[in-house]
C-alpha cells in the first residue's frame, strides 16, 4: 500500500462549481497535513496547513482532516479558471520530511 494515495485526475469542472480533492494515507504517525497548488513549470505553492483532525477555512478553500479514516480533503468553492492547476497533498509526522501524493490535475472551464 502506498504511503499517500491521490487520484491523478484530471478533474474537469465548470466555473463556479464546488471542487472536492482527496487523499488517503496509511501512516498513522502523520500529524501535519498540507495542500499545495502547482502550476505548470512552477514550484508547489502552499495553500492550506492543518494539524491533526478538524477543519480549516481560508477564503474559498476548506481543508478537512479525518485521522480516524486516514482521509484528507480540500474543497474549493466558486471555482475559477485560474484555479486550474495540480493540487498536491503532503503530510509529515512532525519531523521534517514531507511525503507527497502524486497530485490531482484540476481543469476549470469558463
Partner 1 sequence: EPEVTQTPSHQVTQMGQEVILRCVPISNHLYFYWYRQILGQKVEFLVSFYNNEISEKSEIFDDQFSVERPDGSNFTLKIRSTKLEDSAMYFCASSPPGGVGNQPQHFGDGTRLSIL
Alpha helices in the chain, H assignment, sequence order:
none
Report the residue number, 23 or 76, with the smaller CB distance to partner 1: 23
Report the residue number, 82 or 95, with the smaller CB distance to partner 1: 95
Return d(Cα 3, Cα 25) in angstroms, integer. Answer: 5
Return d(Cα 36, Cα 3) in angstroms, integer. Answer: 18
| Least Cβ distance, residue 93 to partner 1 (angstroms) | 7
Cβ atoms 103, 38 nearer than 8 A = yes
Instruction: Give me the residue label for grid cell 491521490.
Output: 6
Q: Does residue number 100 form part of the binding site for partner 1 (CB under 8 A)?
A: yes
Q: Does residue number 13 form part of the binding site for partner 1 (CB under 8 A)?
A: no
Using CB under 8 A, which of 70, 98, 105, 107 touches partner 1?
Answer: 98
Report the residue number, 90 or 106, with the smaller CB distance to partner 1: 90
Using CB under 8 A, which of 9, 92, 105, 107 touches partner 1?
Answer: 92
Return d(Cα 80, Cα 61) in angstroms, integer. Answer: 12
DSSP 36-56: EEE-TTS--EEEEEEESSEEE
Question: Looking only at residues 40 through 59 of this chain, which bind partner 1 when binding is defined by CB under 8 A?
Answer: 41-46, 49
Task: Give residues in contact with partner 1 (CB under 8 A).
Answer: 31-32, 34, 36, 41-46, 49, 88, 90, 92-103
Amino acid at each position: 500500500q502506498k504511503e499517500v494515495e491521490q487520484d491523478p485526475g484530471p478533474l474537469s469542472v465548470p466555473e463556479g462549481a464546488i471542487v472536492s480533492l482527496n487523499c488517503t494515507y496509511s501512516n498513522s504517525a502523520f500529524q501535519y497535513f498540507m495542500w499545495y497548488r502547482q502550476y505548470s513549470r512552477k514550484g508547489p505553492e502552499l495553500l492550506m496547513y492543518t494539524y491533526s483532525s478538524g477543519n480549516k477555512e481560508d477564503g474559498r478553500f476548506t481543508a478537512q482532516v479525518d485521522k480516524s479514516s486516514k482521509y484528507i480533503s480540500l474543497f474549493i468553492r466558486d471555482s475559477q479558471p485560474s484555479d486550474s492547476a495540480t493540487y498536491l497533498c503532503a503530510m509529515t509526522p512532525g519531523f521534517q520530511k514531507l511525503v507527497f501524493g502524486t497530485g490531482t490535475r484540476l481543469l476549470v472551464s469558463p
